[in-house]
Structure 1
Amino acid sequence: MVRTIKFGNRLVGEGQPVYLVAEAGINHNGDVGLARQLIAAAHKVGADAVKFQSFETDRFICRSALSAPHVDRELGVDGTFYDLLKKLELPPDAYPELHAYAQQVGIPMASSPFDERYVDLLDRLDVPFFKVASMDLDNLDFIRYVARKKRPMVISTGMGTLAEVAEAVEAARGTGNHDLVLLHCTSQYPPDPSDVNLRAIQTLQSAFPDLVVGYSDHTVGVHVPLAAAALGAVVIEKHFTLDKKMPGPDQKGSADPQEMITLRAHLDDLARARGTGIKMPTGGEEMVKKAFRRSVVMAKACAKGHALTRDDVALMRPGTGISPKYVDLVIGRRLRLDVQSQHILSWGDLE
């Protein structure tokens, strides 16, 4: 089964170029101007979409909420997770402006809404897809709310079990929305390579054979998402920053513009390298084949009428004559002409 889905006018899935999402997330640091720069940069580096996170801190996190190690590094002595996220909000009226700017630049803009209000706002903006963050994998009522908008949904599966993924899929499908993409994800920032578990991509493909499967990356560098694509991930989401030295919890673990350019180029090369799966020589190989393969050639000069023995012939380049696999059919045949050493035999030379 060929698994495909449409994001706007773009077909995404098997047999298509890898869809690269530049996850700007909260790397705008609450600055609309910086968010605009991220949009322009995402387009310039070749991303297929730019994505943000849409939230009001007071509606999804308690003031006493626990933090995470990568966030703790940014908090300082007296800061709280709540305080940090409060600084990273964008106001609701920023999104129409950013969406219009993205259209002007020429790149689709999407976002992860963290509550129903932002679902409605993004729906009005006609985003190409909704992204359900890993934190909401078990938030089934919210998944149903998003799914009822009948837009494609990208669901990240970090911190989740296969059973939880199945529940989320069923919740979305229960609304009649079957346009789903599942992203394997490890919600550590960054994860140790031993925790990435890329083979889970294939597990998701097997468990949900009718769904598009991709990978949301939090590793440093571009090699892991490339490996994910090689394993069949057709959507790659990568955190994106203008400068890793900027303040913010996600900046250091994000790809900068040069890394994203490299990732885009390698993903495109990889898509071409995956090929059709049919084992056959390419047009270029046919030329190489003539030069590199062997033929049955004369090991010594022999006269017309001579019955060939195994000692009379050798197997040498080029491969323009009789294939070595037919050498046993050559032995015992008589020559129709005098031949010199290293003469490349053809069937016409033999009686």
Structure 2
Amino acid sequence: MMNDINIGSIAIGKGKPTYVIAELSGNHGGKISKAIEMIHAAHKAGADAIKIQVYRPNTITLNSDKADFAIAKDNAWAAYKNLYNLYEYAHTPWEWLPELFKHAQELGIELFGSVFDETSVDELEQYPVKAYKIASPEIVDLALLEKVAKTGKPVIVSTGLANIGDVFTAVSHLKAHGCNDIILLKCTTAYPTPPEEVNLKTVANLEETFNCHAGLSDHTMGIGVSIAAVALGAKVIEKHIKLADEVETVDSFFSLTIEEFQQMIVEIRRAEKAIGKVDYDLTPAASLNKNGRRSLYVSADIKKGEKFTENNIKSVRPGFGLSTKYKAIVLGREASQDLTLGDRLSWDVIQ
């Protein structure tokens, strides 16, 4: 049995509410005021945590125009020409971190980050981060995995560019360096992700195969896939957010507005209540409608001593009469008193 994992004051595990992470990514558009507004909005919407991406352009790629670093013309980010330009635009300046953490602490919401090299771990260790995230492309960076494992904090790992061998290596490496609080996120690194490529059944298989809590990093449009993931056992949901100001930002084309994000959380909480348990008993609410079932009633006037037939009794709603399962027994027997249309059948009126 897997133990719960605590990120700050919130426990993640079986029977616990789904842990919902709001991913800011580069949707702040290079404005710290917008990043702060997003933190406040996500907190108000009900997020459990805010995640940022902690890198500098020169820690994630090279400033090169060579073909290897060019962004393909059919890529969603083709307008940025090359990787360096994209990350220059999309990154969250480290100079913002003191202010971002200040606001998160004042609100009482966890703020942590995806780290992309060892320097970003060193940077975040200056702040009260309670967890780390490893993005899909970094799952093969064993030095980075070792670095985060040695912080002693829970590590969330996305698997969007990993095969099962990569996941096994990553989990093994984290455990070898002291990290046992690992959460694996099913992820498809496609923006937006076609629903048919999500394969939500993998969430449960990740848990079973690696004995780790599992969830979903969701890049699909809308909220339906995340809700379905919760119904299938996801313990964590991560979703990109944006402000509803219609300003185009780097990841806005597949991100939820704050209103949509809030609605997702509402529906996740509704789904959690609905999952329930295996139970064939009538619930209290259903019991109130028990009399809506069929039962046996007199459908034509019957004289005392007259036989019950298909022509004078009938299975109808409501359910105050004799159970319909006794109809075959009643047919052919005689009435013990006069009966009129609409009278309930009961054993008292049957000879």
Q: Gaps spanning 5+ residues in structure 1: where?
A: none
Counterpart mapping for 1:51-66 below 5 A = 51-64=51-64, 65-66=69-70
Taking the aligned partners of 1:323 and 1:178, their CA distance within structure 2 comes to 58
2:26 is aligned with 1:22: no
Could you tell me how far 1:109 is from its partner in structure 2? 0.9
Residue of structure 1 equivalent to 2:71:
67
Could you tell me how far 1:106 is from its partner in structure 2? 2.9
Taking the aligned partners of 1:150 and 1:158, their CA distance within structure 2 comes to 24
Taking the aligned partners of 2:57 and 2:289, their CA distance within structure 1 comes to 62
Q: Give secondary structure in 2 for the equivalent of 1:297.
A: strand
> What is the identity, as a one-letter code, of the residue corresponding to 2:260?
E
Counterpart mapping for 1:235-250 below 5 A = 235-243=236-244, 245-250=246-251
Alignment check: 8 A CA contact 2:140 2:166 kept: yes
2:152 is aligned with 1:150: yes
Taking the aligned partners of 2:165 and 2:112, their CA distance within structure 1 comes to 27
Could you tell me how far 1:240 is from its partner in structure 2? 0.9
Residue of structure 2 equivalent to 1:32:
32
CA spacing shift, 1:121–1:294, aligned 2, 3 Å: same
Taking the aligned partners of 1:130 and 1:268, their CA distance within structure 2 comes to 25
Alignment check: 8 A CA contact 2:301 2:341 kept: yes
Residue of structure 2 equivalent to 1:177:
179
Counterpart mapping for 1:1-351 below 5 A = 4-64=4-64, 65-67=69-71, 69-73=75-79, 75=80, 79-208=81-210, 210-243=211-244, 245-291=246-292, 293-306=293-306, 308-351=308-351
Alignment check: 8 A CA contact 1:245 1:252 kept: no
> What is the identity, as a one-letter code, of the residue corresponding to 1:148?
K
TM-score normalised to the size of structure 2? Answer: 0.89
Q: Give secondary structure in 2 for the equivalent of 1:172.
A: helix
Of the structure 1 ranges 329-338 and 174-183, higher mean CA displacement relative to structure 2 is found in: 329-338
Alignment check: 8 A CA contact 1:70 1:249 kept: no
Of the structure 1 ranges 18-27 and 333-342, higher mean CA displacement relative to structure 2 is found in: 333-342
Q: Give secondary structure in 2 for the equivalent of 1:252.
A: helix
Alignment check: 8 A CA contact 1:71 1:81 kept: no
Could you tell me how far 1:120 is from its partner in structure 2? 3.3
Q: What is the root-mean-square deviation of aligned Cα atoms in Å?
A: 2.4
Alignment check: 8 A CA contact 1:243 1:251 kept: no
CA spacing shift, 1:320–1:124, aligned 2, 3 Å: farther
TM-score normalised to the size of structure 1? Answer: 0.89
Could you tell me how far 1:245 is from its partner in structure 2? 4.1
What do residues 252-301 of structure 1 show as CA deviations (whole Å, max 9, x unaligned)? 2211122212212222222222222323322121122212x101222333
Q: Give secondary structure in 2 for the equivalent of 1:214.
A: strand
Taking the aligned partners of 1:124 and 1:279, their CA distance within structure 2 comes to 53
CA spacing shift, 1:296–1:189, aligned 2, 3 Å: same
Q: Which runs of 4+ in 1 moved over 6 A?
A: none
Identity %: 34
Could you tell me how far 1:241 is from its partner in structure 2? 1.3
